[in-house]
Amino acid sequence: MSAIDDLPPLRDVVQRFDLAPKKSLGQNFLFDLNLTSRIARAAGPLAGVTVIEVGPGPGGLTRALLAEGAARVIAVERDERCLAALAEVAARYPGRLDVVAGDALETDLGALAARHPGPARIVANLPYNIGTALLTQWLDADVWPAWFDRLTLMFQREVAERIVATPEQRADYGRLAVLCGWRTKARILFDVPPSAFTPPPKVTSSVVELIPRADTLPCNRRILSQVTLCAFGQRRKMLRQSLKGLSIAGKPIDAAALLDRSGIDGQKRAEEISVADFVGVANAAAALAGV
């Protein structure tokens, strides 16, 4: 029996269901239910909330989310070996855990959440190999404000720093920081050492909170993405040079005219201008392209 519920300890679960961690699936499991409870609390309060969890694995974070009072958890897991272990958790919390077998990258998580009333949020110890791809997919959505009211996610510390970076942290500031800063307020909550995981990864991890902004600066997300791709594609070059390749809707954009219209000094580099500046450039590019 564990500290938070009457289910068996996670090490026993992993042994009984033969869940030897697979590197190809980014499986670094958390066995410490005090730590998974801390992550669940960081995402709280959870009463009345539908939590979408990506990659429940043997169920450590899942159990913590349920014990912390989530109305329900919808857990999307790609590794079919984990399903029997998760069925035991579902039996312990009748009607509150839905396990969806599949690839989270190919799953419409918003549609799963929309089946239930109340707020929805994503909480996950993400598989590191697809963490950035998942976050980008969730934030780069057509519809905003998003269907989730908060994201509480574990990443490698290095990725966490790239998510929350500002132009002051030039080395980390890039396309991911612009997307995250445009659509959310992001911050690192706490670090988790490699020793907390089985097997231990090589690097420290961090739990990151992202709260969607209701007052996102108006901008075409595709054009913003094209602008940041161009600007950070040659991040050491001045913007008047790096933006030369920009083309919107098939129309080449004159970099000098673009920077002039946006009021940005063309001698600056991508890593020196703010999210609001990037939005200004994207809107100016849309105007010049007539879209």
Instruction: Give the interface with ligand SAM as residue ranges (CB under 6 A).
Output: 25-30, 54-57, 60-61, 76-79, 82, 103-105, 125, 127, 130
- Name the minimum Å distance from CB 183 to ligand SAM: 22
Decide whether 31 or 278 has the Cβ nearer to ligand SAM: 31
Decide whether 159 or 289 has the Cβ nearer to ligand SAM: 159
Distance CA 124, CA 42 (A): 12
> Which residue lies nearest ligand SAM, judged by its C-beta?
55
Can you tell me whether residue 28 is helix, strand or coil? coil
Decide whether 54 or 227 has the Cβ nearer to ligand SAM: 54
Decide whether 103 or 265 has the Cβ nearer to ligand SAM: 103
- Name the minimum Å distance from CB 79 to ligand SAM: 4
Distance CA 271, CA 252 (A): 23
Q: Treating both helix axes as pointing N-terminal to C-terminal, what angle do 83-92 and 60-67 enclose, rounded to 10 degrees?
A: 10
Burial of 99-108, coded b for 16+ CB within 10 Å and e otherwise, reads beeeebeebe
- Name the minimum Å distance from CB 37 to ligand SAM: 12
Write out the two tokens for 270: 């991508």
Distance of CA 109 to the CA centre of its chain: 13
| Residue 191 parent element (H or E) | strand 184-192
| Residue 211 parent element (H or E) | strand 205-212
- Name the minimum Å distance from CB 180 to ligand SAM: 20
Decide whether 135 or 273 has the Cβ nearer to ligand SAM: 135
- Name the minimum Å distance from CB 52 to ligand SAM: 11
